[in-house]
Structure 1
Amino acid sequence: MSVGFILLVHTALDRAAQVARHWAGSGCPVVIHADRNVPEERFDAFRAALAGNPNIRFVEPRRRCEWGTWGIVGATIDASALMLKSFPQVDHVYLASGSCLPLRPVPELRAYLAERPRTDFIESATIDDVDWSKGGFDHERFTLRFPFAFKTQRGLFDRFVTLQRGLGMKRSLPAGLVPHLGSQWWCLTRPTLEAILGDPRRGEYERFFRSVWIPDESYFQSLVRLHANRVESRSLTLSKFDFQGKPHTFYDDHLQLLRRSDCFVARKIWPQADRLYSSLLSNDPQITKNAEPNPGKIDRLFTHAVERRLRGRPGLYMQSRFPLSDRDNGKSCGPYSVFEGFSDLFEQFESWLSKTTGCRVHGHLYAPDRAHFAGGEKVYNGCLPDSAALRDYNPCAFLTNLTWSTRGERQCFMFGPADNQYPTDFMTGDPHAQISVITGAWAIRLFRRKATSEEVRKEAARLQRIEQAHVERLRAHWAKARIRIWTLAEFIEAPMDHLQEILDEVSPRGARRLTEAPRLTDLTGFGRFLQELKNEGMNLHVAGDFPAGFDPAPLQPDTQRRYVVK
Structure 2
Amino acid sequence: MTVGYVMLCHTALDRAAQVARFWAEAGCPVVIHVDARVSDKAFASFGRVLGDLANVSFSRRYRCEWGTWSLVAASLAASEQLIARHPEARHVYLASGSCLPLRPAQDLADYLAKRPDTDFIESVTTEEVGWTMGGLDIERFTLRFPFSWKRQRWIFDRYVDLQRRLKIRRRMPAGLVPHLGSQWWCLSRATLKAILEDPERPAIDRFFRRVWIPDESYFQTLVRQHSRKVESRSLTLFKFDYEGKPHIFYDDHLQLLRRSDCFVARKIWPNAERLYRSFLEPQEGVQIRAEPQPGKIDRLFSKAVERRQRGRPGLYMQSRFPRRDHENGKTSSQYSVFQGFAELFDDFPGWLTRATGVGRVHGHLFAPEGVEFAGGERLANGALTADASLRDYNPQAFLTNLIWNTRGERQCFQFGPRDHQGVDWFMATDPNAQISVISGAWSVPLFRSDLPFATVRAEAARLQRIETRYLEILRSMYVKARVRIWTMSDFIENPMEPLQAIVDEISPRAARRLTEPPQMVDLTGFGRFLQNLRNEGMKPTLMGDFPVNGDPRIAAPRGRRPYLVQ
- TM-score class normalised by the smaller sequence: over 0.9
Match of 1:64 in 2: 63
Per the TM alignment, residue 318 of structure 1 is displaced from its structure 2 partner at its CA by 4.3
Partner of 2:463: 463
Equivalent position SS for 1:337: strand
1:123-202 equivalence runs, <5 A: 123-202=122-201
- 2:492–2:553 CA contact under 8 A, matched in 1: no
Regions of 4+ moved over 6 Å: none
Cα distance in 1, alignment partners of residues 102 and 274 from structure 2:
13
2:544 pairs with 1:544: yes
Shift of the alpha carbon at 1:159? 1.7
In the TM superposition, what is the alpha-carbon distance from 1:525 to its structure 2 partner? 2.4
Please give the alpha-carbon distance, in whole angstroms, between the structure 1 residues aligned to 2:352 and 2:286.
61
Q: Percent identity?
A: 63
Deviation per CA, 1:468-520: give whole Å up to 9, x if none.
11112222222221111221122223322212222222222324432332222
How many correspondences in the alignment? Answer: 554
1:352 equivalenced with 2:347 (yes/no): no
Of the structure 1 ranges 511-520 and 80-89, higher mean CA displacement relative to structure 2 is found in: 511-520
SS at match of 1:272: coil
Partner deviation per Cα, 1:234-267 (whole Å, 9 max, x = no partner): 1111111111111111111211111111110011
Q: Is the 8 A contact 2:313 2:330 kept in 1?
A: yes
Which SS does the other structure have where 1:286 is aligned? coil
User: Counterparts in 2 of 1:481-520, with a 5 A limit?
Assistant: 481-520=481-520
Q: Give runs of aligned pairs for residues 266-415 of structure 1, distance below 5 A.
A: 266-319=265-318, 321-357=320-356, 358-415=358-415
Residue identity opposite 2:33 in structure 1: H
How far is 1:286 from its partner? 3.1
Question: How far is the alpha carbon of 1:73 from its aligned partner?
Answer: 0.7
Distance in 1, matches of 2:427 and 2:493, equals 28
Cα-to-partner distance string for 1:361-403 (whole Å, 9 max, x where unaligned):
0001111111110011111111111111211121111111111
Aligned: 1:51 with 2:51: yes
- Distance in 2 between the 1:493 and 1:550 partners? 14
Q: Distance in 2 between matches of 1:128 and 1:355?
A: 64
User: Is the 8 Å Cα contact of residues 452 and 533 (structure 1) preserved in structure 2?
Assistant: no
Structure 2 residue matching 1:327: 3-state secondary structure: coil
> Contact 2:335–2:411 (CA<8 Å) still a contact in 1?
yes
Residue 564 of structure 1 is matched in structure 2 by none
SS of residue in 1 equivalent to 2:546: coil
1:30 CA drift (Å): 0.4
Amino acid at match of 2:416: G
SS at match of 2:111: helix
Separation of aligned partners in 1, 2:44 and 2:124: 39
Equivalent residue, structure 1, for 2:38? 38
For residues 139-168 of structure 1, the C-alpha deviation after alignment (integer angstroms, 9 at most, x for no partner) is 111111111111122222112111111211
Deviations 1:78-126 (A, max 9, x none): 1111111111111111100001010011111111111222211111111
Structure 2 Cα separation of the partners of residues 32 and 53 of structure 1: 13
CA distance in structure 2 between the partners assigned to 1:150 and 1:454 by the alignment? 71
Aligned to 2:5: 5
Greater Cα offset, 282-291 or 142-151: 282-291
Consecutive unaligned residues in structure 2, runs of 5 or more: 556-566
The 5-angstrom pairing of residues 211-290 of structure 1 reads: 211-290=210-289
Instruction: Check if 1:431 corresponds to 2:431.
Output: yes
CA separation in 2, counterparts of 1:285 and 1:374?
A: 63
Alignment partner, residue 561 of structure 1 = none
> Secondary structure, in 3 states, of the residue corresponding to 1:417?
coil
For the residues of structure 1 that align with 2:196 and 2:291, how far apart are their CA atoms?
30
Gaps of 5+ in 1: 556-566
Please report how far the alpha carbon of residue 285 of structure 1 lies from its aligned counterpart in structure 2 after TM superposition. 4.5
Q: Counterpart of 1:520 in 2: which secondary structure?
A: coil
> Following TM superposition, by how much is the alpha carbon of 1:450 offset from its aligned partner in structure 2, in angstroms?
6.8
Aligned-pair CA distance for 1:532: 2.3
Once residues 88 and 318 of structure 2 are traced to their aligned partners in structure 1, the CA distance between those partners, rounded to angstroms, is 58
The residue that corresponds to 2:449 in the other structure is 449
Aligned to 2:542, what secondary structure does the other structure show? helix
Q: CA contact under 8 A between 2:364 and 2:414: conserved in structure 1?
A: yes
Give, as a single letter, the amino acid of the residue that structure 2 aligns with 1:185: W
Instruction: Judge conservation of contact 2:94–2:184 (CA < 8 Å) in 1.
Output: yes
| Structure 1 residues 533-562: Cα deviation after superposition (integer angstroms, max 9, x where no partner) | 21222111111122324634479xxxxxxx
Aligned amino acid, residue 328 of structure 2? N
Corresponding position: 1:84 with 2:83: yes
SS at structure 2 position matched to 1:161: helix
Conserved in 1, the CA contact under 8 Å of 2:28 and 2:55?
yes
